[in-house]
A = this chain, B = another copy of it.
């Protein structure tokens, strides 16, 4: 599979790339604080094998201490002005999940109308959430007033609190992958309605609604890539040197 091949190739280059020559001081080349090759490959494995999971959830409960580990990982993201603006609402109750699923069904019916013909047919065949199958649902929020009116680093870019919360979500996503737990981000939801379901205060922003659970299988590439919805863009098309649009590396 192309996704698999690309990942393996990437992983191989990782092992070769920073192998130290015999006798070379790790400090001389600046990589004195690099992980061992094994550790580094584990980090890349989590990054490349993380998937947005909507199917194959198992009913196996996630033990509380493991949930706490992935939440601790989230909580150790950096945040603007050390604001730590996130909160986590853990949902296990079937009725709550059902209410959220209803919100999804509404929002998805509206979204489906945007696509016609082949794309419309394809859209309707996609599985875009695992709300009821996943043992745990998790709502991640951002409390925008936390830390008072003058949060360090936020005067220039107001939304950095949202950005920090997303970094926390990615930490959680990768930690979960290492634990063998699949995570799916459901964005096809009316967040105002979702806040009413969960009792989230008006001043708090919902960032993400995640479905967590052990899975029978992790896909080797994104579902939307497999379904032919959209292809991965070659990285070199996305890298610019010194200024926008300059695709050549090296001095200007």
Contacts and interface: CB of A to CB of B under 8 A. Distances in A.
Contacts of A187: 80, 153-154, 156-157, 160
Interface of A: 10, 13-14, 17-18, 29-35, 38-40, 42-48, 50-52, 58, 60, 63-66, 68-69, 71-73, 75-78, 80-84, 86-93, 96, 107, 110-111, 114-115, 123, 126, 128, 147, 150, 152-157, 159-160, 162-163, 166-167, 169-171, 173-175, 177-180, 185, 187-191, 198-201, 204, 207-208, 213-218, 222, 224-225, 229-230, 232-233, 235, 238-245, 249, 251-252
Nearest to A88: B239
Contact of A75 (B68, B73, B178, B238): B238
A240 B152 contact: no
A87 to B, nearest CB: 5
Nearest to A107: B156
Given A35-B180, A78-B52, A157-B191, A244 B43 contact: no
Of the candidates A13, A29, A76, A83, the one having the most CB atoms from chain B within 10 angstroms of its own CB is A76
